[in-house]
Structure 1
Amino acid sequence: MSEPAVRARHLKQTLTAALRTPAAGAVHRFVPAAVLEEIEAAHGSDWLPIGHDVALVRVIHGALGPASHDSFARGVVLEALDGPLLGPMARIVLAAFGRDAAAWARLVPRAWSLVFRNGGAWEVERGAGEVRLRVRGLPAACVEEPVWLASAASSMAAVLDATGVSGSSTLEGFDPTARAATYALRWAR
């Protein structure tokens, strides 16, 4: 099995977005130069080490703080929903289900697999006004960085933004032994 990886397109988009924020200076100072160079040199469809994503998230979160990083992570995913990687899937979901938050949330595992390789196995459980998402077998680099786990919740909140509903996305639990996390998306009906 190949090493856990992330699409270069996601990293490029995250980096570009970060450089438009007050985190720009921190990114240049604290993300290793070799990581930045590899991201910039890669083609969008390339796979890069998952640790590159962890490094970006750690530095951007540290520079922006939790509330601003939450908004930042949501924005990166919303932008991706219009881009070449997630855009085609988003357009199909919109045509098939409209802006149904539950339908969009159930597609998080598919979107995840477009962005991350060997990034864990997902289970989705739908309830009234909520969807629980559990991922097992997360890469070690991701579970070793609590900020990355929280950032994933922020990223999933883009589902709520894309569907126009008010709600929340939270990291509800984490099992380091199973390298598993449970997230809940909840919205008002």
Structure 2
Amino acid sequence: MDADKIFDELEAELHREVGRMVATWSQLEGWLAHILTLLLVRSGRGREGETIYYEVPNLRPRIAVMNAAFFNRSDIGEDIQKRWSALIAATEKEAVERNSIVHGDFLRGTVGNSDLAVAVSPKVFSDMRRKHPPKGVSKMGFHSVDIRRHTERVALLRDALWALYGDLPDSEDAKPPRSAEEYLDAWRVARGQREWPSVS
């Protein structure tokens, strides 16, 4: 198989994984917006939270709005408040890696003497003209397997938000099979096992 065909196949796989990641992030943020509605109007049936959430331009100020709504509810127990804080801290960690992927450059080139690869190269060292990884870095950037791992971790956080939503006062939705804390535990394990390329 010639190099161009290998590159095309690797690139198609990378694009699929980026698409899955974007969709999973959208679902996670959908749960954040849904929780905001429940916090504000004590019902999950409206769209008030979604309207406010998506009017705010990016994740960091959206989380600030969520925190304000969350911690002003005196009827929410301390155990749920702690789970909320842990979920937000985890989401912020994953957001850094999400931004490196979404705002990186798509590269194709060789690793070592022969291996062909495509990757998303973070802006911290990315250059569209670079054909090889920077000195001391064994990978060009985030390969499809790296992005898949990230997406799996984000899916755990999405499901933990669903579980947390089910524990909030006035929630009427069915709960997922695991608790928010169990999803968070699984995320902690996955986060500890991640294999992201060095960008230092």
The higher radius of gyration belongs to 2
More strand by share: 1
Q: TM-score, structure 1 length as denominator? A: 0.26
Q: TM-score, structure 2 length as denominator? A: 0.25
More helix by share: 2
